[in-house]
Amino acid sequence: EGDFLYDYLGCDEAFDSLSYEFVGAGGLCGYPDLEVDTTKIPSSWDGMMYIDVFSGGEAIYTFRSSNGESEYEGRPCALRRINDDCKFVFFGFPLYFTDATQTLVSKVLEDLGGIGVEMDTAHISSQLHRCVPNPFIGKTGISFSVGCESDVSLLVYDVTGRRVETVLQERLKKGRYELSYDGRGLPQGVYFLRLNIGGERFTEKMVRLGR
């Protein structure tokens, strides 16, 4: 009998991060960045948690700490192995502590061969999904769906109605899209994200807490 982590995922070592310093995971290999959803962490944990971190294997996520100074900063915290003999994805952290899990699960299914592009986009309608996190300090994730090939623009307005930034302006095919927005250059405050898809408009409020 073999050990799953070592024999199948190619992991050399596995450690527990014993201090409550994990606040997110940096995505690799096409996986989205993840932030810890602090509303789902017990109050006694002070908004942070600890996880397993690994060495070896093919990393798909790396450890992000609360202050960037952890001994585990940048270490793999999720692994995968995809070949003709086996397909595995292994996470060292619980997904219910994170946002953007829908995108993550779609990527896992893609790696494992469980979903096709045609099936995934068959019933998509145009819409702007909520920004995560929101409010945000460093950056926030923006996701939206395009129901059919259209001219698409993604614009940011301040509370006076003045357009302050054009995030995206191009023709896109039907599908779901994800991007990261840092609001660089904008002061803290309330902003409105407007998505124009053909003749349809969608709006989401964003709150930037720092610069």
Please, which residues have CB within 8 angstroms of residue 177's CB and are 6 or more apart in sequence? 143, 144, 145, 146
Q: Of the candidates 140, 117, 121, 122, which has an alpha carbon nearest to the alpha carbon of residue 130? A: 140
Please, which residues have CB within 8 angstroms of residue 165's CB and are 6 or more apart in sequence? 155, 156, 183, 185, 186
pLDDT above 70 (res 118) = no
Q: Which fold has domain 123-208?
A: Immunoglobulin-like (2.60.40)
- Please classify residue 153 by burial: count the beta carbons closer than 10 Å to its beta carbon, then call 0-12 exposed, 13-18 middle and 19+ buried: middle
pLDDT digits 0-9 by tens, 35-87: 877 666 666 666 666 677 776 668 888 988 877 888 888 888 888 877 766 77
Q: Where are the domains of the chain?
A: 4-115, 123-208
Q: Which two tokens stand for residue 3?
A: 């050990």
At residue 172, the pLDDT reads 92
Summary mean pLDDT of the chain: 79
Higher pLDDT, 159 or 41: 159
Amino acid (one-letter) located at 204:
E
CA distance 192 to 204: 6
At residue 15, the pLDDT reads 60
pTM (2 d.p.): 0.48
Higher pLDDT, 12 or 126: 126
Amino acid (one-letter) located at 195:
L
pLDDT digits 0-9 by tens, 86-113: 777 888 877 765 557 767 777 787 777 6
pLDDT band at 149 (very low <50, low <70, confident <90, very high): very high
CA distance 90 to 60: 9
Q: What is the DSSP string of 157-174?
A: EETTS-EEEEEEEEEE-S
